[in-house]
Structure 1
């Protein structure tokens, strides 16, 4: 069996890493639908995010950092597995009752840390499926779960906040189940007698956007995707989601402060339904989306605070990023479309769902006071490389065939290498897909819609060849395909070669 590995001695010599006893804690803060221009450290003039800005000020702010895909499930799959989502079927946006899509017998990001003696935890959004099949008993132990792919501790909700079941899960069990009030979940037909947004709109405290499917079972005054009955005591209150997740994350940090740990904190902000806590409502002047971003920024500050209080901050590596680009109207009328005018994208175009840069170019910040010199990096970075990069940092082996698309770019993560990846692929599937190499981007011709009217986003789809020079035209407005046919063919052949593997 062959392995990809960097010896600890080589790493120490090249990057000046701490000795085994001084390994950094690692906290991944993974946000949901946060745009490239949503933070003041990335140029936003309409919202201030001082706590995230401080991370960037004390670390490296990457200007060319990417999720692999413009939607959540595929990006999260790639981050966890080091494998492009289009290499495995069933990695599209999952319903809340989906079966687990992360293999239990392969290398994953948390398994890399566990192999190096770290204690691992995930708190927040999961959305990678649970159990071995769609039909599952939500009132008993559910396997496989995050605990079966490398996390020692998990406190999650199963999918997204706009999908049922609207419950917390701790390790393999739904929190606060009641045998006299069993939970039922269905995505094909209504179960139980709970009111729905479609049948009882008068009960809603947040109106659903027309045609987007957020009009099924009402929980906490909000219509969801899918139907649910039972579990009355187990259902969450949206305004308390972040406080609940934050408390669990803080407790994990405190409980494991004397040993190296890896914590994946997967925030729900600013994904819909945006229902921030009362203390943040109306604070941004940008509707609930802006308020949710302020809540996210506060949460980051609280995580940093608990690290500082426990003497862990200086030797903790914090990685901050998003699963895909921004979207304003994605299911609910919450004031976002009135508050924003494109600022959430910064200089790029597109957004969530899109092949344009706004789909995958996201905030990407790495802070590690003991080791990283602050600055800005233009290195080409992808979340798919987290598995191999942290394996390299921790002197862990990756068996051949595992994490097939992950490369070790740890040097770029800590600012030693200014170039990063040679190329990366963007997209959810082999039909709608793009490749970036250096300054050049090629979008494969496809028959998809050019403009997604329901959410108001340019998709980057076209039946014509598309070639852009991102250094000179980050907004992808000047198609150079006819001017540089050799470059088109070069990138076309590389994309064909990599997707054929």
Structure 2
């Protein structure tokens, strides 16, 4: 009888999904980072949108932790990504600009090939490779076009995407070429071949293939899925556009693009569940900067500002982390965090000793989310581009301008940043200026030639911008720091 029971038990074990055995063997969590491009803060159901259709990401928010005060390190694509990939303020290695005027050829929209994260910096992918992770990067890179900056030379075993900053969602042809060769689709190193179909879907399908292959091998994996949705060009499929008959113009297109982004994210998350590895996988969703409301019809409500400026609408982004093994579902984390926290968090989750990380500014968020540490992850946060800079100390935020007095806001009571308290608290302004100067003294000079003219700003027009009384073209010109 004992032998009979043992035989039945052995048979049942053989019938269990392969992924179950793998999960037992592999205690390191898998990591999937779903990363959007230029999305508006308000353009998700989990942030209250009644227009956008994001059921998969809404479900992720219900199953994970929603961070109500998540910030990027810069309100533009390249520097923000540089901060994420290194876990450092990118100004520390001179990556302060995005598409630097004067560095590029005259009247050119091309990205400079040499504008990249210095190769001596250790990337998120390299740190996770040290822990035994298989790593892959999908989609938009935008961290240097030269070969030395290529993802496969900087921490990623596999790459399927494009090196530049923006490209079509549909395949390029001989008649329809990109404005920059860096935006051709590439598999691995230097193997260029355009896709079939809509790129947002294709990137997710390729990521699913990677996940399946590594799961079968029993190797922990890190998939960085860097969608170029919903960045311009404004392109969507007819099927997705048809889902929003009540909308028109770019608002209709961005809604369709967001729907595709949600569908692609859902495809990946469904595969994790199908393989039986959902509980042992960290899934993160975030975005690279605030939405450029005048360019892709995104919506950053309830915050003022857009991509390229230091108001909350330019810096605050959606941020969800799901980790069933560690984090309580359907919860909200209230204290400010930054996307540079992802690197040390991933490293710690994978079993790494964060004290061995090389001079990172991010922190491991795990003890903060679980409640082991009740303090703020960051008491002070910084942003800087040229003379313009911003510092947040606790809940106070100071914005320094190149052409007029600084502005001071108490964020909890003034999320739209319309009540400037600088005149009421001159000592606080002075103290925060000193803290900002002290931080700036630790930074590298920007690595690329700057050719910028600061025009005289009209304060009255700036106020009109705040209240949405300027046309789209004027708004873009008024507060742009890019």
TM-score relative to the length of structure 1: 0.73
1:325 aligns with 2:281: no
| Runs of 5+ unmatched residues, structure 2 | 1-22, 100-109, 168-178, 443-482
**Alpha-carbon separation, structure 2, partners of 1:401 and 1:417:** 20
Choose the corresponding residue for 2:131, options 103, 106, 116.
116
Choose the corresponding residue for 1:248, options 175, 196, 206.
206
Q: Deviation per CA, 1:77-126: give whole Å up to 9, x if none.
A: 01011222223335422444522622333321111211111101100110
CA gap 1:392/1:446 in 2 versus in 1, 3 angstroms: same
Q: Deviation per CA, 1:250-287: give whole Å up to 9, x if none.
A: 10000011211111000111100121233212423332
Q: Is the 1:52–1:297 Cα contact (8 Å) retained in structure 2?
A: yes
Choose the corresponding residue for 1:369, options 318, 324, 337.
324
**Alpha-carbon separation, structure 2, partners of 1:389 and 1:20:** 22
| Runs of 5+ unmatched residues, structure 1 | 1-17, 132-141, 177-233, 331-335, 448-462
SS in 2 for 1:33: coil
**Alpha-carbon separation, structure 1, partners of 2:375 and 2:144:** 35
1:164 aligns with 2:180: yes
1:265 aligns with 2:225: yes
Give the paired residue count: 390
Post-superposition offset of 1:414: 5.3
Q: Is the 1:161–1:272 Cα contact (8 Å) retained in structure 2?
A: yes
**Alpha-carbon separation, structure 2, partners of 1:318 and 1:418:** 23
Q: Deviation per CA, 1:406-453: give whole Å up to 9, x if none.
A: 333332355654544233435352422111122111111323xxxxxx
**Alpha-carbon separation, structure 2, partners of 1:418 and 1:303:** 33
TM-score relative to the length of structure 2: 0.76
CA gap 1:30/1:329 in 2 versus in 1, 3 angstroms: same
SS in 2 for 1:314: helix
CA gap 1:309/1:395 in 2 versus in 1, 3 angstroms: closer
- Higher helix proportion, which one? 2
**Alpha-carbon separation, structure 1, partners of 2:301 and 2:373:** 25
SS in 1 for 2:412: coil
Deviates more, 1:254-263 or 1:430-439: 430-439
Post-superposition offset of 1:328: 3.0
Query: Could you say which residue in structure 1 is the equivalent of 2:350?
Result: 394
Deviates more, 1:159-168 or 1:18-27: 18-27
Choose the corresponding residue for 2:234, options 264, 274, 296.
274
SS in 1 for 2:241: coil
**Alpha-carbon separation, structure 2, partners of 1:20 and 1:387:** 24
Query: Could you say which residue in structure 2 is the equivalent of 1:66?
Result: 71
Q: Is the 2:384–2:390 Cα contact (8 Å) retained in structure 1?
A: no
Post-superposition offset of 1:390: 2.6
**Alpha-carbon separation, structure 1, partners of 2:421 and 2:149:** 48
**Alpha-carbon separation, structure 2, partners of 1:106 and 1:399:** 17
RMSD across aligned C-alpha pairs, in angstroms?
2.3
Query: Could you say which residue in structure 1 is the equivalent of 2:98?
Result: 93
Query: Could you say which residue in structure 1 is the equivalent of 2:59?
Result: 54
**Alpha-carbon separation, structure 2, partners of 1:424 and 1:363:** 20
CA gap 1:424/1:276 in 2 versus in 1, 3 angstroms: farther
1:471 aligns with 2:431: no
1:102 aligns with 2:117: yes
Query: Could you say which residue in structure 2 is the equivalent of 1:126?
Result: 141
